[in-house]
A = this chain, B = another copy of it.
């Protein structure tokens, strides 16, 4: 099953390892640098070095892999490490890690000496199906997510399911949320298929992952700079990002990205129904499916004001007075640049909070 979904720049399986070694050979002379976090240095770097022994002499840069460290200071550490290790304009940065490492590493590479090449080897399900794809790099500023960044495509992305073996269930769930998003913006068939798999554990193999990857790759190819259809990928993210930022600030054990997006997708499916006639049956199905797999998060009504602050700061916002959403007319029918008022957003949060109370009964 390997490689059947391969695109120009996305590789996996045995052939993926061969492609990686071919690519590395081209950078041998100019220097290869490996960016890892405290986990991937332990669990993933040994696998990489075993498969690619020529990387034995590569300089390794370690950065903290947590969202709260995806900061300007974090990028500065990578820039300094590259400079100190004499990276030159045609060197290569290999980002081995989750979304924090691929976002921050991509940004560091794209801005070092006005841009050096970089390659992503994502090691979390979330990074494989989302963060590592599509050339969005990003860094947080004062806890506003991805406030800084550039669009810059990695030279290649390598998907190896072997790296998922050491992943926690919660982290798998986080990636699973983005797979649900790809399915609902793609087609009813894709969503049906995902519901049949019915478990974030079962989907962790190259073939399933690549099917989800392809949805994103196809959208990005049509619209790399997010002028139109790429915005469809932001479904669930206006509210989801705000909840994620809130949780990062206030919770001792904050929500993972996908966990926040899962809540965002329920809320924004509700808004889709109210605003665009998204079928109530589909809202019921999405909500029930997410609710079954994801733990409940208590959203007190009082937090809405703080969420609005984050929503207005959202990059998608083009009017400082309006809330901007990517929504669904139906499953497989995404629309974007939809405006909704604060009242409807409050109702959608209320809808999520009362899911268990039997809203549909």
Contact between B144 and A89, CB atoms less than 8 A apart? no
Tell me, rounded to whole Å, the shortest Cβ–Cβ distance linking A183 to chain B.
26
Chain A interface residue count, CB cutoff 8 Å, equals 39
Tell me, rounded to whole Å, the shortest Cβ–Cβ distance linking A126 to chain B.
20
Tell me whether A50 is interfacial, beta carbon within 8 Å. Answer: no
How many copies of this chain are found per oligomer?
2
Stretch at the interface among A10-18, A111-119, A214-222: A111-119
Tell me whether A313 is interfacial, beta carbon within 8 Å. Answer: yes
B residues within 8 A CB of A141? Answer: 76, 79-80, 83
Tell me, rounded to whole Å, the shortest Cβ–Cβ distance linking A324 to chain B.
10
Stretch at the interface among A145-153, A193-201, A283-291: A145-153
Tell me, rounded to whole Å, the shortest Cβ–Cβ distance linking A31 to chain B.
7
Tell me whether A142 is interfacial, beta carbon within 8 Å. Answer: yes
Stretch at the interface among A94-102, A259-267, A314-322, A350-358: A314-322
Tell me, rounded to whole Å, the shortest Cβ–Cβ distance linking A2 to chain B.
33
Contact between B79 and A320, CB atoms less than 8 A apart? no
Contact between B150 and A114, CB atoms less than 8 A apart? yes
| Among candidates B80, B111, B317, B318, residue contacting A150 with C-beta atoms closer than 8 Å | B111
B residues within 8 A CB of A86? Answer: 312-313, 320
Tell me whether A58 is interfacial, beta carbon within 8 Å. Answer: no
Tell me, rounded to whole Å, the shortest Cβ–Cβ distance linking A26 to chain B.
13
Q: Give the residue name and chain of the B residue nearest to A90 (CB).
A: B318
B residues within 8 A CB of A318? Answer: 30, 88-90
Distance A62 CA – B30 CA, assembled complex (angstroms): 39
Contact between B113 and A150, CB atoms less than 8 A apart? no
Tell me whether A349 is interfacial, beta carbon within 8 Å. Answer: no
Tell me whether A256 is interfacial, beta carbon within 8 Å. Answer: no
Q: Which residues of A does B touch, CB under 8 Å? A: 29-31, 72, 76, 79-80, 83, 86, 88-90, 107, 110-115, 136-138, 141-142, 144, 146-151, 312-313, 315-320
- A-B pairs with the 10 shortest C-beta distances? A113-B315, A114-B149, A86-B320, A111-B148, A90-B318, A88-B318, A88-B317, A111-B150, A114-B151, A79-B141
